[in-house]
Structure 1
Amino acid sequence: MSKIIGLIPARMAASRFPGKPLFPIFGRPMIEHVFERARLFPRWDVLAICTCDEEIKAFGDSKGYPVIMTADTHTRALDRVAEAATKCGVDVADDDIVLNVQGDEPMMHPDMIAATIKPMEERQAEVRGTMLAMDIVDEAQFRNPDALKIIHDLSGRVLYTSRQPIPYCKQFTPELGAKRIYGIFGFRWDFLKLFTSLAPSPLEIKEACDSNRLYDYGHHQHIAPYPFQPSYSVDSPHDIGIVEAAMQADPLWGRY
């Protein structure tokens, strides 16, 4: 059976919110919420934080979390995750699954991880990489450039991701079927190695989205569909209040 390796990339130098991995949410650093929720998923062979920052390492060490130090030259999370996979303490085979669980998703649930893995296990020959794709149900999120929208074909193969409101509509309704990236990505190890072998691409740079590198070079991920739930990422300081308000009704809050 393939190993499942979870890596949580985090860095202090986020352009829109410097220091956000250690910013407190209900008195606990954001990265703590992410790690504690991620480890509720029962199938990990490895789960670790990966970072280039000593402050994050010191916090992880204080909690007993595995921390993998990476180069400080990475500008994309997937490149950091790929380096960390080579240092995770196990031999990673080409068919093993490497999960990137973004460090700014303090409301993620372990069943989201299971959903991200599911297409790779059920359609192994066809699906080598996935992204969790959450339904968009309100126009504000559809118009929000921080929410990366997904265009995919009928088989679930991702064609493009954009900060623009796509697909086009004159008036938004939930029936449009728009989806956004939720920050959990799955890769077979050979596919992640392929990603890191490619130079950063024009559409990746223009949209500030790692996954567009694959599409620019003719490769594909698939969506891992997930229904809407009030689960929010942290892109700016403004999002902290939104997350704290929603987290009070989250059934996982209080379990860690």
Structure 2
Amino acid sequence: MSIVYGCYGIIPARYDSSRFPGKPMADICGKPMFWHVWNSACKCPEMDKVVLATDSPIIQDAAEKLGVPVVMTADTHTSGTDRVLEAARKLSLPDDCVVVNIQGDEPCLAPEMLSELVSPFADGSVRVTTLASPITAEEAQSPDRVKVALAKDSRALYFSRSPIPYSHDGSGKYLLHIGLYGFRMEALETFAGTDASPLEKRERLEQLRLLENGIPIHVTVTEHSCHGVDRPEDLDTAIKILEREKI
């Protein structure tokens, strides 16, 4: 596939976390977690550049020692998207480029997922993209697993913590939303310039702000899975996966 736009990955990395303080610095196979995310993202051929965006001098110092490009951002941001936007502005990225918000707690990220994420931007009308993967009806019951329902053209109809679409007989397929986003720079600016929407507040899902403001989200269904590190006990799984890949 020929990519005709600039594509930039930004990894928001906040040091403070109520569930896992210092998470981006967690040691995985001798390197901090943020390095593994950056290293995987750099293997995506569509990425022109991948940088870390942080509010922590500790993370900044570690990144510089490891040769990871880093942008310092404010410590007042309430979301990773806001941090990504500040970094994109500091990098003076053009309006027609694609900015990819890469979760900083995905050390096992498959580079192919980023290729799938940005592929829809070959269509100049696409403004925002994300990913989803199939899950079972049992898994869909958890409010921690955000579900998405799609139109025939792969646009997101709705995101919810509830199982959607509802199935009266308990059957049907469900799609798990994967929190990777691609934005045209202008769409990222528009998103940040609007207030939190009613549905966003109700579901506590910021992507609903886009839908409520008429900005479509194109969803690519991937067969790849995520293994995010939310808590310290998740590190063992990530380490086993990365060690298995090395073997």
Tell me the TM-score normalized by structure 1.
0.86
Residues 8-58 of structure 1: per-residue CA shift (max 9 Å, x gap): 011012233222111123343211110111111123222100011111111
Answer whether contact 1:105 1:233 (CA < 8 A) is retained. yes
Q: Secondary structure at the match of 2:234?
A: helix
Which residue of structure 1 lines up, in the alignment, with residue 178 of structure 2? 182
Give the letter aligned to residue 37 of structure 2.
Answer: V
Output the CA distance in 2 between the equivalents of 1:207 and 1:109: 28
1:172/1:210 Cα in 2 relative to 1: closer, same or farther (>3 Å)?
Answer: same
Q: Say whether the 8 Å CA contact 2:116–2:220 is kept in structure 1.
A: yes
Structure 1 gap ranges (5+): none
CA 1:23–1:207: 2 relative to 1, 3 Å: farther
Aligned partner of 2:124 in structure 1 is 124
8 Å contact from structure 1 (residues 94, 189) kept in 2: yes
Residue identity over aligned pairs, in percent, reads 37
If the length of structure 2 is used for normalisation, what is the TM-score?
A: 0.89
Shift of residue 206, structure 1, vs aligned partner: 3.2
Question: Residues 1-256 of structure 1: matches in 2 within 5 Å?
Answer: 1-88=4-91, 91-121=92-122, 123-125=123-125, 127-137=126-136, 139-140=138-139, 142-169=140-167, 176-229=172-225, 231-249=226-244, 251=245, 253=246
User: Aligned-residue CA RMSD in angstroms?
Assistant: 2.1
Structure 2, unaligned runs of 5 or more: none
CA distance in 1, matches of 2:18, 2:220: 28
Q: Does 8-17 or 54-63 show the bigger shift?
A: 8-17
Indicate the larger mover: 77-86 or 10-19.
Answer: 10-19
| Mapped contact 1:133–1:179 kept (Cα < 8 A) | yes
SS of corresponding position for 1:99: strand
Residue 201 of structure 1 and its aligned partner are, at CA, apart by 2.1
SS of structure 2 residue aligned to 1:86 = helix
SS at match of 1:112: helix
Q: How far did residue 138 of structure 1 move?
A: 6.8
> Once the 2 structures are TM-superposed, how far is the Cα of residue 212 of structure 1 from its aligned partner?
1.3
